[in-house]
Amino acid sequence: MDDQTRIELEAAAFRRLRKHLMEERSDVQNIDMMNLTGFCRNCLSRWYQEAANERGIEITKDEAREIYYGMPYSEWKSRHQTEATQEQRDAFERVHKDV
């Protein structure tokens, strides 16, 4: 496989992951993703920002989140995220205590 095809396939997989998390499973809370997988939607937006910055494209954390979420993060949160339960916060502390 040539590099351009590989890049296109990786980009397609990323777009599919984003669509899945944003449209098909918007009910899944970021804290639950962090507790189970060690990353969440915010991590993906941060990785997007870091990739842009590495290429000399300066975008802020808020700009990267808006690109990833397709709307301001505050709007996403009000539409889809709920306040973390004590159980979720406790699980987060256990999982990430050494991080």
The pair of structure tokens assigned to 37 is 């997988």
What is the pLDDT averaged over residues 4-8? 97
Q: For residue range 35-93, what is the model confidence (pLDDT) as tens digits? A: 999 999 999 999 999 999 999 999 999 999 999 999 999 999 999 999 999 999 999 99
Give the model's pLDDT for residue 45: 96
* pLDDT at residue number 99: 61
Give whole-number Cα distances, 73 to 1, 19, 42, 67, in Å.
37, 16, 9, 9
- CA distance linking residue 24 with residue 15, whole number of Å: 13
> pTM of the prediction?
0.86
Q: What's the CATH code, domain 3-95?
A: 1.10.3340.10
- Number of CB atoms found within 10 A of residue 53's CB: 13
pLDDT in tens, 52-63: 999 999 999 999
CA pair distance 57, 89, nearest whole angstrom = 35
